[in-house]
């Protein structure tokens, strides 16, 4: 393995141009790449370490929109008051994210670019309509997260392009994140979801649910939300949940279990709402 | 091999390391600091925890080359002049270990946690230690020891 450590964005862009077509991996926190490397599963020929790049490691607010640098660690997001106040799903997901040692190294950019169907930050990022800022030697562009994540481990990143920041806006009065794992910590989610809602005159005016680990990418349970807002009964809400998800059997759970438990949890949540 | 300089337990060390070498290997095999244990070697168990710039990290998934210029503290730096750190002292008093293999990791994670949180609740302690596994005795006595150490450190 060759190890490269650019000290500036232009230097990084030069490396990316030169290594275009070669087997490289970008190393941010390294908490996913390194265990895979240790167990001999995936060996990129070249590791490009971007952790010391200046910038991209802060959290700021402008005009009601929050910007998070791609190199911000999970622990920094967990402790950030702005995020606790305005983006509770992210804050909650960071509390349930692995353990302290991993949270100190893992980055939000890494969690997104990994594009795991079970990524714990992802449902919240979808709920808060995350827009991702990408740069390359040829310029920059912004993509909504649902256009960026294409499937397990697949993103819309072009060769030579990197993710530098995430822009978020919470359009809900309330939101929460829920994770079901086989144990409370250090566990990959069996299912997870983020739910956002607003209340007008004691009834739900707006509702969205983003579910993870039940399809190749995060899915928005639109049918279920519409069905709830139209005051349909539990059976048709459950049917609509089933229509939107495509769970699989894996080492953590069966598809059947995932489908049943997601229905149960969401119906349980919805019953607590007024109206 | 590549030259790297890092500060380990308050001493600057310059070493030649392999590009894919992890900090755990460098500590144990090159510097003979074997207090840091190798457990799963794939970021699941927490026994290889050390402090990098005062924050707990897993040395098994940290390439040594990424530690250039960083300060690393291992379990060997914790007791000062033969006197145990309060968390070590309380682990002994509470019997918070049996085989002791996971203990260095628990101590390193707890040290930073107690610096940040002077008055931790049980659930905060559990959350802080959630990345460390113990396969002998369970967690009750470890949690009690951390709580008692927080009182000692006031």
* A44: containing domain: 1-53
SS3 A230: coil
SS3 A273: coil
Chain A nearest-CA residue for B20: A1
pLDDT score recorded for residue A113: 96
Of B104, B118, B114, nearest to B54 by C-alpha is B114
| Alpha carbon distance B49, B80 (integer Å) | 19
Q: Does A6 touch chain B (CB under 8 A)?
A: no
CB atoms within 10 A of CB B114: 22
Chain position carrying tokens 């009065």? A173
Task: Give the model's confidence band at A160: pLDDT under 50 very low, under 70 low, under 90 confident, else very high.
Answer: confident
Count of domains in chain B?
Answer: 2
Are B64 and B90 in the same domain? no
SS3 A137: coil
Count of domains in chain A?
Answer: 2
The predicted complex's ipTM stands at: 0.92
Chain A nearest-CA residue for B48: A101
Q: Does A105 touch chain B (CB under 8 A)?
A: yes
- Provide mean pLDDT across the span A115-142: 95
Q: Is residue A164 a part of any domain in this protein? A: no
pLDDT score recorded for residue A171: 96
pLDDT mean values, one per 10 residues, chain B (154 residues):
96 94 97 97 95 97 94 97 97 95 98 96 94 91 98 95
More confident residue, A138 or B129: B129
- Given an 8 Å threshold on Cβ–Cβ distance, is B128 in contact with A38? no
Which chain A residues touch B131 with a CB distance below 8 Å?
A: 98-102, 185-186
| Alpha carbon distance A28, B22 (integer Å) | 16
CATH code, B28: 3.10.20.30
Strand residue runs (E) in A91-221:
131-136, 139-144, 149-151, 154-155, 162-168, 174-180, 191-200, 203-212, 219-220
Which chain B residues touch A47 with a CB distance below 8 Å?
A: 63
Quick one: A50 exposed, middle or buried, by C-beta within 10 A (0-12, 13-18, 19+)? buried
Confidence (pTM): 0.93
Are B101 and B139 in the same domain? yes
Chain position carrying tokens 């989610």? A189
Which chain B residues touch A73 with a CB distance below 8 Å?
A: none
First to last CA, chain B: 46
Token pair in block for residue B96: 């918070």
In what order do the strands lie in the sheet containing A24-27?
A: A2-4, A46-49, A24-27
Residue A180 has pLDDT above 80, yes or no: yes
Q: Confirm if B50 and B36 have CB atoms less than 8 A apart.
A: yes
Q: Is residue A233 a part of any domain in this protein? A: yes
User: Which residues share a beta bridge with A177?
Assistant: A194
More confident residue, B73 or A272: B73
Residue A40 has pLDDT above 80, yes or no: no
- Identify the weakest region by mean pLDDT among A177-191, A198-212, B41-55: A177-191
Which of residues B25, B55, B75 is at a domain's end?
B75
Task: Give the model's confidence band at A275: pLDDT under 50 very low, under 70 low, under 90 confident, else very high.
Answer: low
Q: What is the CA radius of gyration of chain A?
A: 19
Residue A76 has pLDDT above 80, yes or no: yes
CATH code, B94: 1.10.150.120
Residue A99 has pLDDT above 60, yes or no: yes
Q: Confirm if A217 and A206 have CB atoms less than 8 A apart.
A: no
Of B57, B55, B125, nearest to B87 by C-alpha is B125
Residue A56 has pLDDT above 60, yes or no: yes
* B95: containing domain: 86-152
Of B85, B154, B89, nearest to B117 by C-alpha is B154
CATH code, A220: 3.30.390.50
Q: Is residue B81 a part of any domain in this protein? A: no
DSSP state of A157: P
């Amino acid at each position: 393995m060759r190890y490269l450590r650019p000290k500036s964005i232009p230097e990084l862009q030069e490396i990316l141009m030169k290594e275009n077509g070669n087997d490289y991996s970008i190393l941010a926190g390294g908490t996913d790449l390194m265990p895979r490397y240790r167990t001999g599963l995936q060996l990129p020929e070249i590791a490009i370490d971007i952790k010391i790049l200046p910038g991209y490691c802060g959290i700021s607010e402008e005009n009601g929109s929050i910007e998070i640098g791609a190199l911000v660690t999970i622990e920094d997001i967990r402790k950030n008051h702005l995020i606790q106040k305005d983006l509770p799903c992210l804050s909650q997901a960071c509390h349930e994210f692995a353990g302290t040692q991993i949270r100190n190294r893992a980055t939000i950019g890494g969690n997104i670019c990994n594009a795991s169907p079970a990524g714990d930050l992802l449902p919240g990022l979808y709920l808060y309509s995350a827009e991702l800022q990408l740069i390359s030697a040829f310029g920059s562009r912004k993509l909504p997260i649902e256009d960026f994540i294409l499937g397990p481990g697949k993103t819309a990143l072009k060769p030579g392009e990197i993710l530098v920041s995430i822009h978020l806006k919470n359009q809900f009065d309330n939101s929460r994140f829920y994770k079901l794992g086989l144990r409370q910590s250090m566990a990959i989610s069996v299912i997870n979801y983020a739910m956002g809602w607003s209340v007008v005159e004691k009834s739900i005016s707006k509702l969205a649910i983003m579910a993870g680990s039940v399809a190749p990418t995060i899915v928005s349970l639109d049918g279920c939300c519409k069905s709830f807002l139209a005051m349909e009964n539990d059976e048709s809400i459950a049917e609509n949940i089933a229509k939107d998800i495509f769970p699989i059997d894996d080492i953590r759970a069966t598809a059947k279990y995932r489908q049943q438990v997601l229905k149960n949890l969401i119906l349980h949540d919805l019953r607590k709402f007024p109206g | 091999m590549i030259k790297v300089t890092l500060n380990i337990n308050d001493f600057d060390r310059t070493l030649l390391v392999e590009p894919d070498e992890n900090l755990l290997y460098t500590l144990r095999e090159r510097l003979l600091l074997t207090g840091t244990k190798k457990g799963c070697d794939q970021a699941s168990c927490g026994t290889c925890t050390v402090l990098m710039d005062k924050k707990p990290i897993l040395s098994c998934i940290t390439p040594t080359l990424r530690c250039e210029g960083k300060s690393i503290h291992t379990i060997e730096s914790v007791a000062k002049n033969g006197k145990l750190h309060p968390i070590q002292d309380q682990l002994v008093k509470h019997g918070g270990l049996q085989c002791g293999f996971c203990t260095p990791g628990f101590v390193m994670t707890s040290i930073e946690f107690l610096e940040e949180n002077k008055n931790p609740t049980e659930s905060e302690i559990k959350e802080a230690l959630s990345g460390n596994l113990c396969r002998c005795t369970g967690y009750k006595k470890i949690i009690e020891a951390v709580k008692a150490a927080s009182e000692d450190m006031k």
